[in-house]
């Protein structure tokens, strides 16, 4: 869903917003970033300490937004290296070299002195300047053909350069789990580890949309990055924090606040899921008048459903019949705190021996989760809406 190009983000740009950005469907930034006070404080502190960190949450909860927000606030130079489209060692390495080149382009002037300095810091690298962009390219015979060495040298070079400039820089690697799938992924992680464990100037942040695979990279004692990182688990954003966020947008768009009943309904339908709160509000904020009752909010939710129905059906189609029927029963059962208790088993007409592994597989697929109160719920509130409606 959220495909970010490899880039250095200029998060210090004017953040004045247009109405259609009141509820961003991609990265939330500036004034349209809601709360996350605790997580922001923690991540800032970890960046300051240069402690490698991994951000973990289900999809569309706001990992990327949080990373951007914190870097914006700290004003640290920042590069986003996205492994989304990287499928082998060479493309993983190319992403890292490109990300570091972009970061260097942001912090260095483009002149001959820079070229000389960079060629001293980055071993085996030829530096060229194309308009305002600095390109690092490995030309030494060994590094040229070895992605593992390139990753090591390019990060080592960045560390040396940032040290000379006395700067902290942030390297944010998104969709990091891709590195687990490549032939020499272990060795590439080893290169990252060797820099991350000693760095004085680079704050590494890792994230990805597959929680299961991320935990394989960071929790498995056979993996190079085992126990290397601090972990931040992102949850949903509390209803009370959404009230000022939504009211602010109502004042900007309609010059008036909403009744709390309608805000409650927005948060109830979207279940405090950051993407869905914005998705529903973006539909409601397309109207000339604010939602004047809960029916108007419900109509907006139905619009969301219509535009997402095909995707939801495709997601359901990927499940087995047993998985689907358990998912449907969970959608129909409020306050489900014991999905293997007799009452629920009776409803799904299955034994606990059958239900237990299905629950595990649904959780691994991020179709269900256990909320902080211990209630088993569907992760996607629109999926729940579809199953309950049917």
Ligand X SMILES: Nc1ncnc2c1ncn2[C@@H]1O[C@H](COP(=O)(O)OP(=O)(O)OP(=O)(O)O)[C@@H](O)[C@H]1O
Q: Which residues bind ligand X (CB under 6 A)?
A: 1-2, 24-28, 33-34, 36, 57, 59-65, 209, 274-275, 278
Partner from ligand X, Mg ion, none contacting 278, C-beta within 5 to 8 A by type: ligand X
| Closest to ligand X by CB, 59 or 106 | 59
Does residue 270 interact with Mg ion by CB under 5 A? no
Partner from ligand X, Mg ion, none contacting 274, C-beta within 5 to 8 A by type: ligand X
Binding mask 40-79 for Mg ion (x = CB under 5 A): -----------------------xx---------------
Closest contact distance (angstroms) between CB of 188 and ligand X is 21
Closest contact distance (angstroms) between CB of 336 and ligand X is 25
| Closest to ligand X by CB, 51 or 59 | 59
Partner from Mg ion, ligand X, none contacting 177, C-beta within 5 to 8 A by type: none
**Which residue number is nearest to Mg ion in terms of Cβ?**
64
Partner from ligand X, Mg ion, none contacting 28, C-beta within 5 to 8 A by type: ligand X
State how far the Cα of 33 lies from the Cα of 274, in Å rounded to an integer: 10
State how far the Cα of 105 lies from the Cα of 386, in Å rounded to an integer: 48
Partner from Mg ion, ligand X, none contacting 265, C-beta within 5 to 8 A by type: none
State how far the Cα of 174 lies from the Cα of 81, in Å rounded to an integer: 6
Distance of CA 370 to the CA centre of its chain: 20
State how far the Cα of 220 lies from the Cα of 194, in Å rounded to an integer: 17
State how far the Cα of 72 lies from the Cα of 30, in Å rounded to an integer: 8
| 7 phi, psi to nearest 5 deg | -170, 165
Partner from Mg ion, ligand X, none contacting 152, C-beta within 5 to 8 A by type: none
Q: Which of 218, 235, 77 is nearest to 158 (CA)?
A: 77
**Which residue number is nearest to ligand X in terms of Cβ?**
62
State how far the Cα of 216 lies from the Cα of 238, in Å rounded to an integer: 29
| Closest to ligand X by CB, 27 or 54 | 27
Closest contact distance (angstroms) between CB of 3 and ligand X is 9
| Closest to ligand X by CB, 236 or 377 | 236
| Closest to ligand X by CB, 25 or 117 | 25
Closest contact distance (angstroms) between CB of 174 and Mg ion is 6
Partner from ligand X, Mg ion, none contacting 275, C-beta within 5 to 8 A by type: ligand X
Partner from Mg ion, ligand X, none contacting 61, C-beta within 5 to 8 A by type: ligand X
Closest contact distance (angstroms) between CB of 315 and ligand X is 14
| Closest to Mg ion by CB, 148 or 171 | 171
| Closest to ligand X by CB, 42 or 107 | 42
Give the dihedral sign, CA 137/138/144/149: negative
Distance of CA 63 to the CA centre of its chain: 3
H and E: helices and strands count for the chain: 16, 9
78 neighbors 11 (Cβ within 8 angstroms): yes
Q: Which of 52, 33, 32 is nearest to 43 (CA)?
A: 52
Closest contact distance (angstroms) between CB of 208 and Mg ion is 8
E strand or H helix that includes residue 240: helix 239-254
| Closest to ligand X by CB, 47 or 172 | 172
In order of 244, 315, 355, 361, the CA distances from 318 in angstroms are 39, 5, 18, 12
How do beta strands 230-233 and 53-56 pair? Answer: parallel
State how far the Cα of 183 lies from the Cα of 167, in Å rounded to an integer: 34
104 neighbors 110 (Cβ within 8 angstroms): no
Q: Interface residues with Mg ion (CB under 5 A)?
A: 2, 63-64
């Amino acid at each position: 869903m959220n495909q970010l190009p490899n880039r250095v983000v200029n998060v210090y740009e004017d953040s004045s917003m247009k109405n259609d950005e009141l509820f961003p469907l991609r990265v939330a930034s500036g004034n349209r970033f809601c709360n996350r006070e605790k997580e922001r404080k923690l991540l800032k502190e970890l960046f300051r300490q240069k402690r490698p960190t991994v951000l973990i949450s289900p999809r569309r909860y706001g990992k990327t937004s949080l990373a951007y927000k914190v870097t914006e606030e700290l004003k640290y130079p920042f590069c986003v290296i996205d492994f989304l489209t990287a499928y082998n060692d060479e493309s993983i390495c190319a992403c890292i070299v490109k990300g570091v080149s972009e970061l260097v382009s942001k912090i260095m002037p483009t002149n001959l002195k820079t070229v000389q300095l960079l060629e001293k810091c980055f071993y085996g690298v030829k530096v060229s300047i194309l308009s305002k962009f600095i390109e690092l390219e490995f030309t030494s015979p060994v590094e040229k053909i070895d992605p593992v060495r390139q990753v090591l040298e390019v990060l080592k070079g960045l560390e040396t350069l940032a040290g000379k400039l006395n700067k902290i820089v942030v390297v944010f690697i998104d969709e990091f789990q891709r590195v687990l799938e490549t032939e020499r992924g272990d060795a590439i992680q080893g290169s990252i580890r060797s820099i991350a464990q000693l760095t004085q100037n680079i704050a590494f942040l890792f994230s990805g949309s597959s929680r299961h695979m991320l935990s394989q990279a960071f929790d498995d004692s056979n993996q190079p990055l085992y126990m290397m990182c601090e972990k931040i688990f992102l949850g949903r954003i509390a209803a009370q924090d959404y009230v000022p966020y939504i009211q602010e947008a109502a004042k900007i768009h309609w010059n008036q606040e909403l009744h709390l009943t309608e805000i409650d309904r927005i948060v109830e339908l979207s279940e405090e899921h950051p993407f869905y709160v914005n998705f529903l509000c973006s539909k409601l904020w397309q109207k000339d008048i604010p939602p004047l009752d809960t029916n108007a909010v419900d109509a907006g939710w139905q619009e969301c459903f219509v535009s997402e129905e095909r995707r939801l059906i495709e997601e359901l189609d990927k499940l087995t019949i047993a998985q689907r029927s358990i998912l449907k029963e969970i959608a129909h059962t409020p306050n489900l705190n014991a999905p293997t208790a007799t009452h629920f088993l009776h409803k799904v007409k299955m034994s606990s021996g059958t239900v237990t592994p299905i629950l595990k597989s649904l959780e691994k697929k991020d179709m269900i989760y256990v909320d902080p109160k211990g209630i088993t719920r569907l992760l996607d509130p629109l999926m729940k809406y579809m199953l309950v409606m049917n």
